[in-house]
Amino acid sequence: ALTMRMTRTAMLETLSEDYITAARAAGLNERSVLFRFGLKNAIIPTLTVLGLAFAYAITGSVFVEIIFTWPGLGSYLTDAIVALDFPVVVAVTLVVTVLYIVINLVVDLVQASLDPRIRLG
């Protein structure tokens, strides 16, 4: 629901821009205006929300494994905390953090490839 609401809001904001009016005045059909100009520019904030939601889902799966006692990284982390195995706790925290950072980096790279206004560096 959050993604749909974000896409709708970004699309409504984009469709009120001057270049959309100019594209319509140039005689382009509505489908071309919506997809080529509207959605291409409205997808950037939506992509950010999708990337964060995906990162939250991946990191949140650790807590789901802990709650439902499923075998995986969450139960491994719980066992390490109970046994006071600090290197394992640090390693699991580091893995989850690096995974979160990599997902955000991929989202930033995709945004830079879609929008020429975004510069890397």
Within a domain: residue 120? no
Helix (H, G, I), strand (E, B) or coil at 1: coil
Residue 116 has pLDDT above 80, yes or no: no
High-pLDDT (> 70) share of the chain, %? 99
Taking residues 68-73, report their average pLDDT.
86
pLDDT at 102 over 90: yes
Domain for residue 74, yes or no?
A: yes
121, pLDDT greater than 80: no
CB 119 within 8 A of CB 112: yes
Is 72 among the domain residues? Answer: yes
| Burial letters 15-40, b for 16+ CB under 10 A, else e | beeeebeebeeeeeeeeebbeebbbe
Chain segment 19-69, per-residue pLDDT in tens: 888 888 888 888 888 888 888 888 888 888 888 888 888 888 888 888 888
Count: domains in the chain: 1
Q: Whole domain around residue 66: which residue ranges?
A: 2-114
What's the mean per-residue pLDDT of the chain?
A: 87
Compare 104 and 62 and report the one with higher pLDDT.
Answer: 104
In-domain check, residue 121: no
